[in-house]
A = this chain, B = another copy of it.
Amino acid sequence: MAVTLRQIQAFLAVAELGTFTKAAERLHMAQPALSQLVRELEQALGIRLFDRTTRRVELTEGGREFQGASAKIVHDLDLAIQNANDLAERRRGKITVAAPPLLAAAILPEAIAEMRERFPGVQVAVLDARTDTIVEAVRTNRVDCGLGTFAAIEDGIERIPMARDQLMLFCSPGSRFADADVDWRELQSEPLITLTRDSGIRLLVEVAYETVGIPLVPAYEVAQITTALALVEARLGVAVLPTYARAAAPHRRVLARLLANPAIARDIVLIRPSGRSVSPALATFETVLRRHVRRLTPADID
């Protein structure tokens, strides 16, 4: 005969309260049912657990021994269940997200701050890396998800589009570009502040200049979007940056204008290993992240 948790619960209740009737009340069941559970347990163990007359119920030696052991077991189980529930309720958890440095700097901090605020038990770690490294890290499960602009649809990886990002011209308020959308050709011989060549954005800009047939002569080359914006604010030139650059320094006196002909846009995508389940914490992080990404990139997509 198998021992069940229900039997143990019944036993512990009787052991604690010292009467079958009170124990049955606590367990919201009729007293005969409880008697039966205890009897079953006694049969399974092969020993008498209680000395019981109609007036007195007390543990036998073996009963006391089993009480200690089973009380600990029930407690441990409650703990394990509680731990699982904590995971489910986002009171606990750990997420690692990979993103390219510029994106990580621009968008992640606010999303992480919100997570920290709403789910203090959930740890969010960031791995900033190059795009190809990100894909690899996602595929090998070293990170739970990756954020960025990923060209091909890779196998074994799920793509969740978050928003559409577009290249924009950042200029100072008094600039001649300040009033309307800008055509790439208008940038000819305008002092251009660019990112260094290791960034994907710089590459896009070069392609665009090539396409419209004007020479690209960087006036300044910087590594960080923030730096580029600072230079723009100082009227040292204009910069071509992604939409989300506005997040990098919302307080700076800088304007952003759409760059057309051609309009260059990319999807900002969240990727994660396909086939793996999404932990509750990760699911929440995705929605938080999507909201922050969209707030900075007005062009919503589905």
Contact = CB atoms under 8 A, between A and B. Distances in A.
Given A51-B276, A60-B276, 10 more contacts: A3-B77, A4-B5, A4-B6, A46-B85, A46-B280, A60-B277, A60-B279, A65-B83, A69-B77, A69-B79
> For the complex formed by this chain, how many copies does it contain in all?
2
A44 interface: yes
A47 interface: yes
Contact of A275 (B46, B53, B66, B89): B53
Interface in A76-110: 76-77, 79-81, 83-85, 87-89
Contacts of A83: 65-66, 69
B88 A46 contact: yes
27 contacts: A3-B77, A44-B81, A45-B81, A46-B84, A46-B87, A46-B88, A46-B280, A47-B279, A47-B280, A51-B277, A53-B275, A56-B275, A60-B276, A60-B277, A60-B279, A61-B279, A62-B84, A65-B83, A65-B84, A65-B87, A66-B80, A66-B83, A66-B84, A69-B79, A69-B83, A72-B76, A73-B73
B5 A3 contact: yes
Contact of A69 (B4, B66, B76): B76
A158 to B, nearest CB: 13
B81 A77 contact: no
Interface residues of A, number: 38
Interface of A: 2-6, 44-48, 51, 53, 56, 60-62, 65-66, 69-70, 72-73, 76-77, 79-81, 83-85, 87-89, 275-277, 279-280
Contacts of A77: 3, 69-70, 73
Contacts of A2: 5
Contacts of A3: 5, 77, 81
Nearest to A61: B279
Contact of A51 (B56, B81, B275): B275
A47 B146 CA distance: 23
A44 B84 CA distance: 9
Contacts of A53: 275
Which of A4, A46, A60, A66 is most buried by chain B, counting CB atoms within 10 A of its CB?
A: A46
